[in-house]
Amino acid sequence: MSISEQYFPEEPTAPVVKTDTIPGPQGAQAIKTLGEVFDTRCTYFVADYYKSKGNYIVDVDGNTYLDLYCQVASIPLGYNNPALIETAKDPKTISNYVNRPALGNFAGNDFEEIQRELIKAAPKGQHLVWNALSGADANELAFKAVFYNYQAKKRGFNAPFSAEEESSCMENSAPGAPELAIMSFDHAFHGRLFATASVTRSKPIHKMDMPAFKWPKAQFPAYKYPLEANTEANSAEDDRCLAIVEEFFKTWHCPIAAVIVEPIQSEGGDNHASAKFFQGLRDITLKYEARLIIDEVQTGCGGTGLLWEHERYNITPPPDLVTFSKKMQSAGYFFHDPEFVPNFPYRQFNTWCGDPVRVILAGAITREIREKNILPQIKETGDYLFGKLESIQSKYPTWLQNLRGKGKACFIAWDTPSGDDRAKFLNAMKLNGVNMGGCAEVGVRLRPTLVFGKKHVDIFVERLDQVLSTL
């Protein structure tokens, strides 16, 4: 019996679409009335989460979709997972839910246990965690940790601030507000807050009209596919991009305190890189005494078949900070150097300092992944899926270009001929009962749950073939 069948014996057996349009009439009305109190301009359809189960999401028109997008890659173990429902009923969860502690000042007597469960899921080489509220928040807090650490090393870790530093920072000027930089990459996505928008480079809509830090943007490798037929060209691409990174360190007008990079650029197009590239980044940051931040917000928690995708590349020594959110249902960053704890209290601080309910949920999710040995199963499903997609690609090469993600479970993507073609394709898939998402200008990405099985693959591929035969 598959893990999906164990969790969801009453999961739907196939998609069912009852309306001629998505959304249907009830969905359109629901969007209209919701629009009176909420911005619904990005709403695809209004879901009925009470009826959604496992790998299927149901909308208010009664349409049942096989979901390969899963709340923008943030559902780990399926809709209404029974193990997570039991976690929600636990008295510890209820207490932290109704009494939401301001953790920095009034942590509860159960929070040590809660936090230690989360740390069990830490990436290799990391054993500490700082909690956040979202992926963008996690990255912003990681930047703060880097900057605090950079300046503390200069003045002495426990040295007091000078009077000049204290007065100048209140004027947003040096030396109290030093000019430092974070390097990111073209096509990167790290969030929509102020500092994270400055390192996000995927789409103008994410950052238009916002004041920005003048920080460097390096080139992320643009590989040729299939990888096995283009090893020499892709290795040269690694060399080219790493040379650009190092040149920025040599010439940028202010110190580059850290590099932030995704193991797979997701929102920016599902762009992959190699162990050579990531180790090269690590070597450069060590050479110039900068920090390496790995953004695992979308790749983390098993979506690629590993709990943490960057571990695939055996980066040595380990990254300085690893940020997380999405499938973890919590957020923050893991780290290993205690000097990343700010040298004085109230520096890395807010009212909540995370959310203990979400930390409890993250602990339960990662415990289920370990105890039910889920990752080998999603790897097997991914290999099966990729093989099926290669066959589909041979039939419809124009519609499945640059198929990528082989060997990385179901973290798979391909390119369509154009943005208009992609929109037409995604709408046709919805009308055939499959919910999918895009990335960058022409990409299609798959982000199913970790309990997506071969029977789901067969349904998806059948519907995919049907749609492509009509386009």
The pLDDT value recorded for residue 176 is: 96
Find the radius of gyration of the CA atoms of the chain.
Answer: 23
Q: In degrees rounded to 5, what are phi and psi of residue 271? A: -95, 130
Q: How confident is the model at residue 402 (pLDDT cuts 50, 70, 90)?
A: very high
- What is the enclosing helix (H) or strand (E) of 112? helix 111-119
Residue 213 corresponds to which tokens in the numbers above? 């830090």
From the list 45, 93, 200, 326, the catalytic residue is 326
> Left if phi > 0, otherwise alpha if psi is -120 to 50, otherwise beta: which for 305?
left
Q: Are 285 and 291 in contact (CB under 8 A)?
A: yes
Report, as an integer, the average pLDDT of 55-82.
Answer: 98
Report, as an integer, the average pLDDT of 29-57.
Answer: 98
Q: Which amino acid is at 174?
A: A
Q: Does a cis peptide bond (omega within 30 degrees of 0) precede residue 91?
A: no
> Left if phi > 0, otherwise alpha if psi is -120 to 50, otherwise beta: which for 70?
left
Q: What secondary structure letter does DSSP report for 358?
A: H
Q: Are 130 and 141 in contact (CB under 8 A)?
A: yes
Residue count (the chain): 471
The pLDDT value recorded for residue 304 is: 98
Report, as an integer, the average pLDDT of 52-68.
Answer: 98
The pLDDT value recorded for residue 1 is: 83
Q: How confident is the model at residue 436 (pLDDT cuts 50, 70, 90)?
A: very high
HSE-CB of 274 using CA atoms within 13 angstroms: 21
CA distance 444 to 460: 14
Strand, coil or helix: 218? strand
Note if 351 is an active site residue.
yes
pLDDT above 90: residue 326: yes
pTM of this structure: 0.97
CA distance 43 to 22: 11
Q: Are 266 and 73 in contact (CB under 8 A)?
A: yes
From the list 48, 67, 270, 295, the catalytic residue is 295
Residues forming a β-bridge with 330: none
From the list 337, 351, 395, 420, the catalytic residue is 351
Reported as a single tens digit per residue, the pLDDT across 335-365 is 999 999 999 999 999 999 999 999 999 999 9
pLDDT above 90: residue 459: yes
Note if 189 is an active site residue.
yes
Q: In degrees rounded to 5, what are phi and psi of residue 61? A: -85, -5
Tell me the average pLDDT of the chain.
Answer: 97
CA distance 120 to 201: 33
Q: How confident is the model at residue 401 (pLDDT cuts 50, 70, 90)?
A: very high
Q: How confident is the model at residue 443 (pLDDT cuts 50, 70, 90)?
A: very high
Query: Do β-strands 64-67 and 443-446 pair in parallel, antiparallel, or remain unpaired?
Result: unpaired
Report, as an integer, the average pLDDT of 175-203.
Answer: 97
Residues forming a β-bridge with 323: 295, 333
Reported as a single tens digit per residue, the pLDDT across 362-397 is 999 999 999 999 999 999 999 999 999 999 999 999
Q: Are 244 and 278 in contact (CB under 8 A)?
A: no
CA distance 378 to 457: 11
* Residue % of the chain over a pLDDT of 70: 100
Closest CA to 334 of 286, 356, 301: 301
From the list 8, 143, 189, 386, the catalytic residue is 189
Note if 295 is an active site residue.
yes
Strands (E), 52-176: 56-58, 64-67, 128-132
pLDDT above 90: residue 240: yes
CB within 8 A of 285, min separation 6: which ones? Answer: 258, 259, 291, 292
